[in-house]
Structure 1
Amino acid sequence: MKTIRELYAYREMIISLVRKDLRGRYKGSVLGFLWTFINPLLQLIIYTVVFSVILRSGIDKFYLFLFVALVPWIFFSSAITGGATSILSQQDMVKKIYFPRHVLPIAYVTSSFVNMLLCFCVIFAVLIVDGTGLNLKAILYLPIIMLVEYVLALGIGMLSAALTVYFRDLEYILGIVTMAWMYLTPIMYDVSMVPEEFKFIFNLNPMTPIIVAYREVLYYKQIPEIFTLCHAAVLGVIILIIGSLVFSKLQRNFAEEL
């Protein structure tokens, strides 16, 4: 509760850091903020060519099937890999002034989340132009799914941020981990394609129910199963609690380690 009260007191600092990150993310580049949309679109084109033309997946409108899962995944992977260096990148501030250190990973993950929300404008436009349309009742569940993913990403972001201060190689290891994690998550294939004997392992992946829920709402245009949402929410809350506790434990010696 003390941490929550402190974070509320420093809410203006979080907002300021989010704005700074959004403004500075593509500063100096020719296309600037357009890279927010170009990056997922380029990945979409590459994966669509591979899995629709070369390795035929047989999934109807594969580009939509992939896009509605790829955008949330880009946010999640960015929150983990970028969040890992959120303390290191602000080490001068950590050494010189007092503020709840949770502010830094929270600001980075929130900035990445705002980027994802902007990309969802493109998803909605594609769904409408394509003629697939939207199920308005199902869309009402979308903010819940996004919130669950944000909680999960924040928990892992805090955990990786704290551990990277003590173990710098983790920054590079996480790049490999997220790449492997993406292929173990039903992003480029349907969860029904996973062999029955491996489904239990896949369901331990906290991103599996989240991706399934996004796809049910945006691709299949149906209300997500309550079990799927509850499963994702429980995993997200557990990981956030673990991440917050570990972060609180390790933050005491951040200044000495930096």
Structure 2
Amino acid sequence: MKVLRELYSYREMIFSLVRKDLRGRYKGSILGFLWTFINPLLQLMVYTIVFSVILRAGIDKFYLFLFVALVPWIFFSSAITGGATSILSQQDMVKKIYFPRQVLPISYVTSSFVNMLLCFLVIFGVLIITGYGINIKALFYLPIVMIVEYILALGIGLLSAALTVYFRDLEYILGIVTMAWMYLTPVMYSVDMVPEQFVPVFNLNPMTPIIVVYRDILYYKTIPQISTLMHAFILGIFVLFVGSIVFSKLQRNFVEEL
């Protein structure tokens, strides 16, 4: 509670860092903020060509099947890899002034989350323009799964940010881990395609129920199962709890390590 109260008192600093990150993300580029929408669209195009034309996944309207899961995954992976360097990239600030160090990974994950929300405008646009449609009742569950994913991403972001200060190679290892993690998550394929004997292990992946819920709401247009939401919520809270504890213990020696 003490940490939460302190973070609340520094909320203006968090908002300021979020605005700074969003403005500076594509600063100096010709297309600027449009890259927020272009990046997921280009990735969608590549994966659609590979899995619809070359490897043929055999899934109806595969571009929609993929898109509604790809955007949340991009947020999650960027929160991990970018969050890992959030302390290192602001080491001058960490050395010179006092503030809750959690502010830095929180601000980065939050700016990535806002970026994802903007990308969802593209998803809704595609669903409407193509005539695929939206289930309004199911859509009420979308903010819930977004919050759950944010909690999970923040937990891993705190953990990776603290560990990277001590193990600099983790920054590069996480790039490989997130790439492998994507293929172990049902982003480009259906859960039904996983062999039955691997399903229990597969469900240990905290992103599995989150992607399933996104797809239920936006692709299958059905109300997600409460058990799936609870599974995702419990895993998210557990990861955030662990990440917060590890960060609190390791931050004591950040200045010495930097």
TM range, smaller chain: over 0.9
Structure 1 residue 112: Cα displacement: 0.1
**Distance between the aligned counterparts of 2:130 and 2:223, measured in 1?**
21
Asked if 1:51 is matched to 2:51, the reply is: yes
In the alignment, which residue of structure 2 is the partner of 1:127? 127
Structure 1 residue 72: Cα displacement: 0.1
In the alignment, which residue of structure 2 is the partner of 1:243? 243
Secondary structure of the corresponding residue to residue 131 of structure 1: coil
Secondary structure of the corresponding residue to residue 252 of structure 1: helix
In the alignment, which residue of structure 2 is the partner of 1:94? 94
Secondary structure of the corresponding residue to residue 198 of structure 2: helix
In the alignment, which residue of structure 2 is the partner of 1:178? 178
**Distance between the aligned counterparts of 1:86 and 1:217, measured in 2?**
32
**Distance between the aligned counterparts of 1:202 and 1:16, measured in 2?**
39
**Distance between the aligned counterparts of 2:20 and 2:247, measured in 1?**
23
Structure 1 residue 82: Cα displacement: 0.1
User: Identity of aligned pairs, percent?
Assistant: 82
Structure 1 residue 224: Cα displacement: 0.3
User: Which amino acid in structure 2 is aligned with residue 151 of structure 1?
Assistant: I
Secondary structure of the corresponding residue to residue 216 of structure 1: helix
**Distance between the aligned counterparts of 1:35 and 1:132, measured in 2?**
25
Asked if 1:164 is matched to 2:191, the reply is: no
In the alignment, which residue of structure 2 is the partner of 1:64? 64
Secondary structure of the corresponding residue to residue 125 of structure 2: helix
Asked if 1:144 is matched to 2:140, the reply is: no
**Distance between the aligned counterparts of 1:56 and 1:22, measured in 2?**
37
Structure 1 residue 248: Cα displacement: 0.3
In the alignment, which residue of structure 1 is the partner of 2:231? 231
Alignment: residue pair count? 258
In the alignment, which residue of structure 1 is the partner of 2:218? 218
User: Which amino acid in structure 1 is aligned with residue 110 of structure 2?
Assistant: T
Structure 1 residue 54: Cα displacement: 0.4
TM-score (normalizing by structure 2)? 1.00
**Distance between the aligned counterparts of 2:252 and 2:87, measured in 1?**
13
Structure 1 residue 125: Cα displacement: 0.4
User: Which amino acid in structure 2 is aligned with residue 182 of structure 1?
Assistant: M
**Distance between the aligned counterparts of 1:80 and 1:197, measured in 2?**
29
**Distance between the aligned counterparts of 1:214 and 1:246, measured in 2?**
30
Structure 1 residue 36: Cα displacement: 0.6
In the alignment, which residue of structure 2 is the partner of 1:199? 199
User: Which amino acid in structure 1 is aligned with residue 112 of structure 2?
Assistant: S
Structure 2 unaligned runs (5+)? none
In the alignment, which residue of structure 2 is the partner of 1:29? 29
User: Which amino acid in structure 2 is aligned with residue 28 of structure 1?
Assistant: G
**Distance between the aligned counterparts of 1:130 and 1:24, measured in 2?**
33
**Distance between the aligned counterparts of 2:150 and 2:128, measured in 1?**
26
**Distance between the aligned counterparts of 2:41 and 2:184, measured in 1?**
22
Deviations, residues 66-116 of structure 1 (Å, cap 9, x unaligned): 000000000000000000000000000000000000000000000000000
Secondary structure of the corresponding residue to residue 160 of structure 1: helix
Asked if 1:104 is matched to 2:104, the reply is: yes
Structure 1 unaligned runs (5+)? none
**Distance between the aligned counterparts of 2:200 and 2:29, measured in 1?**
44
User: Which amino acid in structure 2 is aligned with residue 194 of structure 1?
Assistant: V
TM-score (normalizing by structure 1)? 1.00
**Distance between the aligned counterparts of 1:35 and 1:200, measured in 2?**
38
Deviations, residues 178-233 of structure 1 (Å, cap 9, x unaligned): 00000000000000000000001110000000000000000000000001000000
Structure 1 residue 159: Cα displacement: 0.1
Q: CA RMSD in A?
A: 0.3
**Distance between the aligned counterparts of 1:243 and 1:73, measured in 2?**
20
Secondary structure of the corresponding residue to residue 60 of structure 2: coil
